[in-house]
Amino acid sequence: MDKIVDFQNTEIAFASKSNTELTRARLLFEILKNKQLVNFSNKLLQWALALKLPVEWIIKATVFKHFCGGVSLEQCAPLVRKLNESGVYAILDHSVEGQDSEEQFDQNTRLIQEEIRNAASNDGVAFAVFKPTSIGRLETFELLTKDPTAESLEFNRIKERYFSIGETAKTLNQRIMIDGEESWMQASADELALALMERFNQEEVIIYNTLQMYLADSYERLEAWIERAKSQNFKLGVKFVRGAYMEKERAYAKKMRIPSAVCVSKEATDELFDKGVALAFEYPERVSIFLGTHNEKSTEKAAQLALKTYGVVNHPNVWFGQLQGMSDQITYNLSHVKASVAKLIPYGPVKEVLPYLVRRAEENTSIAGQTGRELKLLRTEQKRRSS
Ligand SMILES: Cc1cc2nc3c(=O)[nH]c(=O)nc-3n(C[C@H](O)[C@H](O)[C@H](O)COP(=O)(O)OP(=O)(O)OC[C@H]3O[C@@H](n4cnc5c(N)ncnc54)[C@H](O)[C@@H]3O)c2cc1C
């Protein structure tokens, strides 16, 4: 079978990057390769920030510049325009984590609604997005995950926030994705997401929920979601990812003396990811798909399935997405074959996006291959330009 996407084409992958930008990216990944250095720098920077030492500029000039869009929605505008010029959409994500006051949750709800309005007024911004724990405490989701019948005023307020966000999205006909987080709080968040779909995904898919395929029971979850969408007659939006909280999941399982919720191996995760995506493609009338992945094999397989199912790669039911600063060979070569593809761009004050940046730094050291892949491609392109 002919391949749809040529991930080796670095000329297309980096066409929008100047020589200086290439060199800067290469330098950053050379540093990220060093696990000990990354761990040490993470600790040092967090300590320095806690002591209010003026170190923000170091973060801003390095990882923040590479992986983020700016400190505010407005600051992301030039990057969004640049991506759009190459046929790539943007998803702007106000990356806040670890907050715990009702005022902050209400404020974040208003901010998410502002993001929805911003996305709705800009054709180049494909989705709005939010994290469950940006509008409610993790412990509250956890309580309702363990006991779905528990009475909780806090959870009622979370529910109200979900529905007011859904209402805004539906009124403006703006698609929105809900992130996946820790397994021990996820079931109650999934319940709310499905309730939103039931209300707002009647004709079109406005709400997408994330399914982390590294969870050993993810396939069964997907089957249950599809059954529910069929029986309650709504459309299902699924954002497929592998899952970003592996270390946390392991630590939690160890602490609770329970088996980890995550698959036993990378191979098992890969298999579940592709199997889940294939199942979703069996319901073209019912299920819309967003593939959040930097995995070339899974991307090619999904592109093949899109072609087989819909006759085209760029059907409105099929989206691809990568994180800003990673896997340009996937993003730009997908855009080259006219697939719908977006970069997820976190933004916000440096301190607020720090947990996200630490995850990216750790991911780029801990995932065998990711940094190596980025470096290899950057080197290939530099060589091509100089020859
Ligand atoms: C647009 C977008 C949105 C995202 N949104 C979310 C989100 O809402 N929630 C979230 O959790 N993550 C999210 N992620 C991150 C995602 O879950 C992955 O961490 C990241 O994309 C790396 O996986 P991959 O499929 O790109 O690539 P790959 O490099 O092929 O896979 C790496 C992943 O495989 C899994 N893995 C690695 N080793 C093992 C092992 N030993 N056993 C079992 N599994 C293993 C882990 O999930 C790891 O992250 C998002 C990613 C993108 C691109």
Tell me the percentage of the chain whose pLDDT exceeds 90: 80
Q: What is the pLDDT of residue 212?
A: 98
Say how many Å lie between the first and final Cα of the chain, rounded. 33
Q: Is 210 in the pocket of ligand 1 (CB under 6 A)?
A: yes
The rounded Cα 56 to chain-centroid distance in angstroms is: 25
Average pLDDT over every residue of 54-68: 84
Residue closest via CA to ligand 1's atom 9 equals 180
Q: What is the pLDDT of residue 306?
A: 98
CA distance 325 to 339: 19
Average pLDDT over every residue of 82-87: 96
Q: What is the pLDDT of residue 43?
A: 76
CB 267 within 8 A of CB 218: no
Please provide the DSSP assignment of 2-71 as one string.
Answer: --S--TT-HHHHTTT--HHHHHHHHHHHHHHT-HHHHHHHHHHHHHHHHTT-S-HHHHIIIIIHHH---S
Residue closest via CA to ligand 1's atom 2 equals 292
The Å distance, Cα 152 to ligand 1 centre, comes to 32
The 3 state secondary structure assigned to 234-283 is CCEEEEEECCCCHHHHHHHHHHHCCCCCECCCHHHHHHHHHHHHHHHHCC
Show the CA angle centred on residue 354, arms to residues 105 and 33, nearest 5°.
150
Q: Of the given ranges (38-52, 53-67, 191-205), which has the lowest mean pLDDT?
A: 38-52
Residue 367 has pLDDT above 60, yes or no: no
Residue 366 has pLDDT above 70, yes or no: no
Q: Is 132 in the pocket of ligand 1 (CB under 6 A)?
A: no
The Å distance, Cα 208 to ligand 1 centre, comes to 17
pLDDT digits (tens, 9 = 90+) for 140-180: 999 999 999 999 999 999 999 999 999 999 999 999 999 99
The Å distance, Cα 243 to ligand 1 centre, comes to 4
The Å distance, Cα 99 to ligand 1 centre, comes to 24
Q: What is the pLDDT of residue 51?
A: 75
Residue 47 has pLDDT above 80, yes or no: no
Average pLDDT over every residue of 301-310: 98
Q: Which atom of ligand 1 is nearest to the CA of 344?
A: 1
pLDDT digits (tens, 9 = 90+) for 370-384: 778 888 999 999 999
pLDDT digits (tens, 9 = 90+) for 246-272: 989 999 999 999 999 999 999 999 999
Residue 242 has pLDDT above 60, yes or no: yes
The Å distance, Cα 212 to ligand 1 centre, comes to 8
| Residue ranges of domains in the chain, CATH in brackets | 70-360 (3.20.20.220)
The Å distance, Cα 295 to ligand 1 centre, comes to 9
Q: Is 323 in the pocket of ligand 1 (CB under 6 A)?
A: yes
Residue closest via CA to ligand 1's atom 25 equals 293
pLDDT band at 308; cut points 50, 70, 90:
very high
Q: Of the given ranges (226-230, 243-247, 297-301, 338-342), which has the lowest mean pLDDT?
A: 243-247
Average pLDDT over every residue of 230-249: 96
- Between these two residues, 249 and 61, which has the higher pLDDT value? 249
Residue 369 has pLDDT above 70, yes or no: no
Tell me the best of 177, 183, 242 to mutate to test the pocket of ligand 1, counting ligand atoms within 8 Å of each CB and taking the most.
Answer: 242
Residue closest via CA to ligand 1's atom 21 equals 293
Residue 113 has pLDDT above 90, yes or no: yes
Q: Of the given ranges (51-65, 138-152, 157-171, 197-211), which has the lowest mean pLDDT?
A: 51-65
Q: What is the pLDDT of residue 370?
A: 73
pLDDT digits (tens, 9 = 90+) for 314-354: 999 999 999 999 999 999 999 999 999 999 999 998 888 88
Tell me the best of 7, 127, 241, 343 to mutate to test the pocket of ligand 1, counting ligand atoms within 8 Å of each CB and taking the most.
Answer: 241
Mean pLDDT in the chain? 93
The rounded Cα 276 to chain-centroid distance in angstroms is: 17
